[in-house]
Amino acid sequence: MPRILLVEDEPAIADTVQYALRADGFEPVHCLTGGEALRRVATEDFALAVLDVGLPDIGGFALCRELRRGRELPVIFLTAQGAEADRILGLEIGADDYVTKPFSPRELVARVRVVLRRAGGAATEPPAAAAGFDHDADGKRIRFRGQPLDLTRYEYGLLAALLQRPGAVLSRAQLMDRVWGDALDSGDRTVDTHIKTLRAKLREVDATADPVRTHRGLGYSIDAR
Ligand code: CA
């Protein structure tokens, strides 16, 4: 069951949304505040977030930015009626969709389905295209040439990020953002250091293999098949 993070400070709205999500086979997790939501995403996985724009402790847009730091998370905003500026800003900062209050819970659930289908299609296609790799994203395990790799958390994060789009160059900043999004003490060198240890582990499997490419001044990529 896909877990849906719902951040909404009005209990009556939250109740009807949760009921509709459950009826449609989703597992809603409700938070009353942005702070609570941030604590939960730090340790739990969610397929999508539904965010009320007007929260007591943090604006929905700022919360969206924080929630997405270091992770892919589709977002649907709940905006107040007639708040045109809200809708525009929501889409500008990368909301996948928005629903204007008052809304029918069934309409919201239908939009959740559409956004998840779109996000799933984008996320499941490319990984198969990297040469020699077999990525089990749920189990957070990667095999190279059939051999399971014994990776640290950061090595895994780097490799998983590169495997998402084989052939595409990711800058150090992009890698930092995706892999070290939650850490404070990190610099550009951190990426280089972990790429180095990652390469060593790939060479242990095959001494001639070097699928990770350095693009001077740009970043890193992994070879497409
Ligand atoms: Ca509210």
Give pLDDT tens digits for 167-215. Answer: 888 888 888 888 887 666 566 568 899 999 999 999 999 888 889 999 8
Torsion over CA: 188, 94, 67, 58 (sign): positive
Give 32 Cα–ligand 1 centroid separation in angstroms: 9
Give 59 Cα–ligand 1 centroid separation in angstroms: 10
* pTM, to two decimals: 0.55
Interior/surface letters 143-172, b for 16+ CB within 10 angstroms, e for the rest: ebeeeebebeebbbbbbbbbbbbbeeebeb
Q: Is 28 helix (H, G, I), strand (E, B) or coil?
A: strand
Q: Give the pLDDT confidence of 68-122 residue by residue, as tens digits.
A: 888 889 999 998 766 666 766 767 777 888 888 889 998 999 999 999 988 876 5
Give 78 Cα–ligand 1 centroid separation in angstroms: 9
Give 56 Cα–ligand 1 centroid separation in angstroms: 7
The Cα 80–Cα 136 span in angstroms is 40
Give 152 Cα–ligand 1 centroid separation in angstroms: 40
Give 197 Cα–ligand 1 centroid separation in angstroms: 47
Give 201 Cα–ligand 1 centroid separation in angstroms: 49
Q: Which of 59, 94, 54, 88 lies closest to 74, judged by CA?
A: 94
